[in-house]
Each structure stands twice: as structure tokens, then as C-alpha cells.
Amino acid sequence: MKKDTDNEISLTFSKLVVYLLRKEDPSIHKYGFPRELRKIFKDNTPLNMVFRQGRTQTLGFTPDAFKVDSEGREITLYEVEDSHRLTIRKLSIIVNLWWVLDDIGWDLRLILLDRYAASRKELGLRKWSFLMDQYPRGLAK
């Protein structure tokens, strides 16, 4: 059996799941999340509360996919837990973004999918925000 090495090298479960999401809902995007956030914030929020400063402004993470519902004032992030699981660092950035968006009347949802798209679960960002804030710092060692 001949292998199509170019396709095998670039194809991942994560890419397949995002492809499936976008086929189900064309308003889901893979690229351009920082640009969409800048459109939402305009002059409402200092960008340094959302973007990490450095040579370039960055969020500190890139969602696997996202959807912006301007009418409903809601952003949905999609994270495919394949080779890169959701880390505490990434969750902290997302929770911070949730607070900033909440402050200007927007909602942020986080949907976790397994590598086969067989399981979709929403992670309650409010719950995790308070849990992470209340965690005794000394226990982290």
C-alpha cells in the first residue's frame, strides 16, 4: 500500500475535528481570533488586559476554532484535546478573557472535544474562575 506522506504528515485528529466543526457550522473559524477580539473591544477595554505585551501583542494561546456571535454578544471557543491538552496556564488566560468580556457585556463559552469529536462538553468558566481563585496557593507545590 502506497502512503501519501504529504497528507499523513500534515493531517491530525485536531485538524479533522475542526474541519468537521466548520462543515457543520460555516460561521466557525480557525484563524483570525485576535483580529476579531480587537473588533469587539474597539475602545471599550484596554487591550493590555487581554493581550500580553512584548514585541507584538499576543493572547498567549490560539484556540483550535472559534465562533463570534455579534448579535448575541457571545464568543465560543473550541478546544480539541488531542496532542495538546488544555493546561492550567491556557485555562487561566481563557478565564481572564471571560472576565474581561463579561465586563463589557459579552459571554465566552469553552467547548472541549475529544480527538474523535465523539464527546463535546462545555467547561463552565465561571465555576473554574472561582475554583482557581480559591485554590490555596501553598498546595500547588
What's the pLDDT at 135?
Answer: 67
List per-block mean pLDDT (blocks of 10 residues) for the chain, which spans 141 residues.
Answer: 55 91 96 87 62 59 93 96 83 89 91 90 88 64 48
What does 68-114 look like in DSSP terms, one character per residue? EETTTTEEEEEEEESSSPPPHHHHHHHHHHHHHHHHTT-EEEEEEEE
Whole-number Å distance between alpha carbons of 64 and 40: 20
Number of domains in the chain: 1
CATH of the domain at 129: 3.40.1350
Q: Return the bridge partners of 52, or none.
A: 58
Scanning the structure block, which residue is given the C-alpha cell 463559552? Answer: 109
Helix 88-103 / helix 125-134 crossing angle, nearest 10 deg: 110
Enclosing domain of residue 114: 5-140
Q: Which three cell numbers stand for residue 93?
A: 488566560
pLDDT at 60: 78
Check: CB of residue 65 under 8 Å from CB of residue 29: yes
Q: What per-residue confidence (pLDDT) applies to 113?
A: 93
- Asked whether the beta carbons of 63 and 31 are under 8 A apart, the reply is no
pLDDT of the residue at 123: 92
- pLDDT tens readout for residues 79-118: 998 877 888 888 888 998 998 888 888 999 999 999 888 8
